[in-house]
């Protein structure tokens, strides 16, 4: 977890945020050890869902949001380290997200830290979309779906989080528009 913490420091996270992420990941680590999983296994979708299901029995729904955020950040860290999702554990939006991130890097010229932030922000949006989170599904996406997600997601979030998500959504929709979706 040292590399994960170093990445959070490099991305400018506050000490208290880093502590919160590491505390959440300690719970994940205990869960993985009790179930006989390795850290890489949290890239398997069912493992993450099982972990959140266990936590939901002991926590209120609103207290799960920071844990989900930590889990998504850790998954992003593992993917950035070169690990891949196990076969059969891919997600509907994986190809779309990777194409979008490459577009940000090459066409828009954004920095790696900005791209990491966009990846993390959009993962929750694309997960929420389910099957519509694919390239084909984006063509049938309507304004109301994006608005309802954003309004529900933004409740209780700070200005910087809302701004990041808004920027990420706008640029993803621009990318999709340029592709004709």
pLDDT at position 84 is: 66
Q: Which carries the bigger pLDDT value, residue 41 or residue 179?
A: 179
- Residue 140's Cβ-side half-sphere holds a number of Cα atoms within 13 Å equal to 8
How many residues are given for the chain?
181
Nearest to 177 by CA among 139, 150, 142: 139
Sign of CA dihedral 103, 108, 110, 114: negative
pLDDT at 167: 92
pLDDT higher than threshold 60 for residue 88: no
Query: What pTM does this model have?
Result: 0.56
Give yes or no for a contact between 77 and 83, defined as CB atoms under 8 angstroms apart.
Answer: no
Q: Where are the domains of the chain?
A: 1-90, 91-181
- Return d(Cα 78, Cα 37) in angstroms, integer: 15
- More reliable by pLDDT, 127 or 122: 122
Distance CA 2, CA 102 (A): 27
Report percent pLDDT > 90 for the chain: 7
pLDDT score of 27 more than 70: yes
d(CA 120, CA 127): 11
Q: Is residue 87 scored above 50 in pLDDT?
A: no
**Does residue 90 register a pLDDT over 70?**
no
Q: What is the mean pLDDT of the chain?
A: 80
What count of other Cβ atoms lies within 10 Å of the Cβ of residue 77?
A: 21
Rounded to an integer, the average pLDDT of 121-140 is: 80
Q: Region 87-110: what's the mean pLDDT?
A: 78
Token pair recorded at residue 172: 């993803």
């Amino acid at each position: 977890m040292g590399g994960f913490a170093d990445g959070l420091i490099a991305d400018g996270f506050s000490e208290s945020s880093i502590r919160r992420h590491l505390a959440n990941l300690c719970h994940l680590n205990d869960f993985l050890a009790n179930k006989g999983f390795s850290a890489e296994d949290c890239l398997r979708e069912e493992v993450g869902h099982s972990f959140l299901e266990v936590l939901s029995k002991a926590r209120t729904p609103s207290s799960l949001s920071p844990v989900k955020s930590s889990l998504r950040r850790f998954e992003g860290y593992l993917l950035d380290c070169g690990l891949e999702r196990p076969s059969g554990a891919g997600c509907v939006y994986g190809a779309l997200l990777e194409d979008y991130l490459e577009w940000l890097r090459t066409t828009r010229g954004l920095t790696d830290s900005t791209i990491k932030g966009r990846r993390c922000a959009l993962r929750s949006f694309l997960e929420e979309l389910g099957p519509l989170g694919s390239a084909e599904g984006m063509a049938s996406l309507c304004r109301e779906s994006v608005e309802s997600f954003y309004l529900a997601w933004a409740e209780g979030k700070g200005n910087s989080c809302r701004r990041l998500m808004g920027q990420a959504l706008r640029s993803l929709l621009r990318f999709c528009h340029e592709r004709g979706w």
